Structure 1
Amino acid sequence: MNKLLFFLLFLYSALVFPLEIVGVKNAQLKDLFLYNGSRLEVMPEEGVIIYVSGTANKRVKLEIKATGATYLTPGARITNLRAKNPIIRLDKYGEGQFEIGFYLLGEKNVSGQHRKQIDYEIEYID
């Protein structure tokens, strides 16, 4: 009976405090000028910020699944896409944020799909 009660309580707590993305701030790339062979590092402050909400004081992991070449626009390829801290602890209100930075490489001849969606997964780890 105690095991059943524990399981139901665990299931209820997961449903009451689901992990969700509450906002995404996109990169603010002003005065972007890339030429063939140039390289621009976009820091997390200028890059992408993902705001999450869930259970207070829980650790959360971000896994980015970028496969193949990803192009921001024709002539600008994204490389080294990474989170500043891939594992964070939510605060006492159950809120937190992931800061994502990357490099932009200038290319003269660009082929392939532009503006490809980047998949990522966010989950509790404890």
Structure 2
Amino acid sequence: MNKLLFFLLFLYSALVFPLEIVGVKNAQLKDLLLYNGSRLEVTPEQGVIISVKGIENKRVMIQIKATGAIYLTSGVRIDNLKAKNPIIRLDEYGEGQFEIGFTLLGEKNVSGKHRKQIKYDIEYLD
């Protein structure tokens, strides 16, 4: 009986307090001038910030799924895409942020459509 009650309570809490993305702030890339072989490091604090909301004091993990070459625009490739802290703990209000940084590389002779979506999964650890 206790196991059934615990399972139902666990299932109910996951339905009442789902983990959701409440905002995505994109990097502000000013004066972007990249040429063949040049690189620009975008620190996580200046990069993309993903705000999440869920159950307070729970640990949350982000997994970024970047496969193949990802281009910001023709001739500029995104490389080394990673979160500053891939595991965070939500605060007492159930809010938290993932800071994601990356490297931009200038490439020569790039043409065609190279845009891909960057996929990521955010889930509870506890």
Q: TM-score, normalised by structure 2?
A: 0.96
Distance in 2, matches of 1:112 and 1:55, equals 44
Q: How many residues align?
A: 126
Per-residue deviation, 1:2 = 1.7
| Aligned-residue CA RMSD (Å) | 1.0
Counterpart of 1:52, as a letter, is V
1:105 aligned partner: 105
Identity of aligned residues (%): 83
Contact 2:74 2:112 in 1 (8 A): no
Per-residue deviation, 1:68 = 0.3
Per-residue deviation, residues 81-119 of structure 1 (Å, max 9, x unmatched)? 000000000000000000000000001111464221001
Q: Which 5+ residue runs of structure 2 have no aligned equivalent?
A: none
Q: TM-score, normalised by structure 1?
A: 0.96
Distance in 2, matches of 1:26 and 1:63, equals 18
Q: Which 5+ residue runs of structure 1 have no aligned equivalent?
A: none
1:82 aligned partner: 82
Distance in 2, matches of 1:79 and 1:112, equals 19
Counterpart of 1:62, as a letter, is I
Residue 64 in structure 1 maps to residue 64 in structure 2 = yes
Instruction: Please identify runs of 4+ aligned residues in structure 1 that moved more than 2 A.
Output: 111-115
